Amino acid sequence: MTCFIGVADAGNSRTKWAIYHNGIRLSWGIWNQPSDILPETVLGAGRWRLAGVHPEQLRDVAARLEHFGGPCEIIDKTTSFGLKIGVDYPDRVGIDRVAAAWAAWLRFERKHGCLVVDAGTAVTMDLVDETGTFLGGAILPGIDLMFQSLAEGTRLLPRLSPSTVDAALCWPGKNTKDAMVVGVLAAQVGAIDTILKKARAHNQNIKIIVTGGGGRLLAEASGLASCYVDGLVLEGIARAGESPP
């Protein structure tokens, strides 16, 4: 990348954006609604590269950016990244999963297999081997979806928000709210532990990286705070098409 480039990830609940210059992220932010005011830094990007799992939102964002800013390139194929896709239906894999996996593999210098945990509306855990093959992984409800399920599927349990969760909360929960938090975090952390053990049963040198809106909380709860990286999907979109050395 030799110029200013804007990247955006249209997710299930919001659109994340960032501005890069020569591979360095200069600024970033979130659009919760298509009508949100675009920051001046966004309007200054020379061109845009977009990807996401929400096609309608992706088209809306592209149209708006092309109106106010530079030309937009929509990345809608997993082959736009440098990974080999070793799953049953390559064209059905979420583009965000492959983008995050691509960025992670590049961060590990294309030498190490890695497990990529992306904690958003859903939590995805995807495996990339040392040759750069995306092998698939696991998908489970994110923290907020788990809280939603408990509230909607029962009569008395309250609707909690991830913003109120304390990753350091100790077992056992002494009230209903704390018990729910302990249970949901235990489910999330237990899933990571289980998947990581499965991955390392085949390759002891597997690295792990955690990202996503709920990634910091999940990394802290899992004892993986040093493995947290912010904005990995955006980084992968920015580096799409980057050739191996």
Among 76, 88, 91, 96, the active-site one is 96
The yes-or-no answer on residue 60 being catalytic is no
Whichever domain contains 229, its CATH number is: 3.30.420.40
* Per-residue pLDDT tens digits of the chain, which is 245 residues long: 446 788 888 877 788 889 888 878 888 888 776 566 666 666 666 788 999 887 777 888 888 777 766 788 889 888 889 999 999 999 999 999 999 999 999 999 888 999 999 999 999 999 999 999 999 999 999 999 999 999 999 999 999 999 888 888 888 999 999 999 999 999 999 999 999 999 999 899 999 999 999 999 999 999 999 999 999 999 999 999 876 55
- Domain assignment of residue 63, yes or no: yes
The reply to whether 56 and 134 lie within a common domain is no
> Do 202 and 108 share a structural domain?
yes
Looking at 26, 57, 74, which one is the last position of a domain?
74
* Structural domain that includes position 67: 4-74
**Full DSSP string of the chain:** --SEEEEEEE-SS-EEEEEEETTEEEEEEEESSTTSPPPHHHHT-SEEEEEES-HHHHHHHHHHHHHHSS-EEE---GGGSS-EE-SS-GGGS-HHHHHHHHHHHHHTTTTS-EEEEEESSEEEEEEE-TTSEEEEEEEEE-HHHHHHHHHHHSSS-----GGG--TTPPSSPSSHHHHHHHHHHHHHHHHHHHHHHHHHHH-TT-EEEEESTTHHHHHHHTT-GGGB-TTHHHHHHHTTTPPP-
